[in-house]
Structures are given as structure tokens and as C-alpha cells.
């Protein structure tokens, strides 16, 4: 169920991918029986695929030429552009220079300092 919800969440907001590492450990911690782990992996993979099915709706809806057509998906590269969010503005979460935090090292140091 959580794999399905993760796939469905990916169709809405791609930062859900940050939960990926946790989803690798949860099934292993939940099942101690190693023989069941491959079956759980197959079920999880199918569930994630089922959760991603809303992406299949985009080309179908676009083919009906609606009044408002975000991205105008008419081919596979157009669909990939929608999935990769190329038509959604910039890739920066914060566009104000004062709040970007500086270099990656400075941000990691600030994060570690905030724990104290």
C-alpha cells in the first residue's frame, strides 16, 4: 500500500522521491523471512507502477484538445518534459538570493550546527 501511495505521490510532487531510501529499509525491517522478500519486492514494484498510472492520463486527455492544455503533450518527449517538470519554471526552490544559503558546504555546516 505504501508503494502505491509513493507512486501516486510522485505524480503530484517529485520531492517524494526523497522517501526512496526509507522505502528500501521498511520492507526489510518488517519481514524477517528472507524467502518472502523477493515476493514483496515484486508487489512493491507493481504497486509503484500502478501509482504512476495518472501519467498515462495526460496524453489521453491532451489528445482530446481541451480548452486548457498544460504542456500540450502530443508525443513521448512532451510527456517526459512534463514528468521532468521542464515547463514548470526554474529548478530553484527559492529564487531570492539572500535565502539560497550559499555553497553546498556552507549549507551542510549550517545544518550540522543547527543540531547543537
Q: Is the pLDDT of residue 35 over 60?
A: no
Split at pLDDT 50, 70, 90, the class of 67 is: confident
> Which residues 6+ apart lie within 8 Å of 11 measured at CB?
51, 52, 54, 55
Domain-by-domain residue ranges, the chain? 1-52, 56-116
Cβ atoms of residues 31 and 40 within 8 Å:
yes
Cα–Cα distance between 92 and 10 in angstroms, integer? 18
Cβ atoms of residues 16 and 6 within 8 Å:
yes
* Average pLDDT score over residue span 19-38: 61
Among residues 34, 18, 24, the alpha carbon closest in space to that of 3 is found at 24
Cβ atoms of residues 37 and 27 within 8 Å:
yes
Q: Is the pLDDT of residue 80 over 80?
A: yes
Stated pTM of the model: 0.54
Amino acid at each position: 500500500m505504501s508503494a502505491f501511495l509513493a507512486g501516486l505521490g510522485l505524480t503530484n510532487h517529485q520531492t517524494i522521491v526523497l522517501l526512496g531510501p526509507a522505502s528500501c529499509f521498511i520492507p526489510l525491517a518488517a519481514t524477517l523471512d528472507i524467502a518472502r522478500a523477493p515476493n514483496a519486492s515484486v508487489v512493491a514494484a507493481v504497486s509503484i507502477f500502478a501509482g504512476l498510472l495518472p501519467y498515462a492520463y495526460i496524453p489521453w486527455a491532451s489528445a482530446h484538445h481541451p480548452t486548457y492544455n498544460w504542456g500540450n503533450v502530443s508525443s513521448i518527449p512532451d510527456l517526459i518534459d512534463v514528468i521532468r517538470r521542464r515547463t514548470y519554471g526554474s529548478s530553484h526552490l527559492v529564487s531570492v538570493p539572500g535565502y539560497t544559503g550559499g555553497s553546498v558546504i556552507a549549507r551542510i555546516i549550517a545544518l550540522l550546527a543547527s543540531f547543537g
